[in-house]
Amino acid sequence: MKYENKEAFEQSNMFGTGTPNTAYASFFIGDSFLNPLTDPKGGGQLLLCTAGEGWYQEEGKAAVSLHEGSVVMIPANVKHWHGAKKGSWFSHIAVEVPGEGCRNEWCEPVSDEEYNKL
């Protein structure tokens, strides 16, 4: 949902806006706020969009529209940007995802029969 009004945005933003993001202000156009939920250690980043509408774009790729409930996994060392859409407030949780020697373990495909039982 698009929020043009800060007061309406704050009513939906369950984690709060945080404090002005002065440390990284040179990387933003307009105001940005930071409300760390973890102690970042580097590595990849997981974005969980919590309120408002925004954009995410990796260098050389098309921009992706973000809204409440959107999730974006950003691998380490991928040049990107993310922020609010024009005329809307936007909030997200950014979780740092460090790790060495990590991998996914793929299981066998789920059969139609199993899936249809759900």
Residue 37 and residue 54: Cα distance in Å, rounded? Answer: 20
Does position 113 have pLDDT exceeding 80, yes or no?
A: yes
Summarised one tens digit per residue, pLDDT across range 29-88 is 788 888 876 665 666 888 999 999 999 999 899 999 999 999 998 887 788 888 889 899
Is this model's pTM higher than 0.85 or not? no
Does position 105 have pLDDT exceeding 70, yes or no?
A: no
Does position 104 have pLDDT exceeding 50, yes or no?
A: no
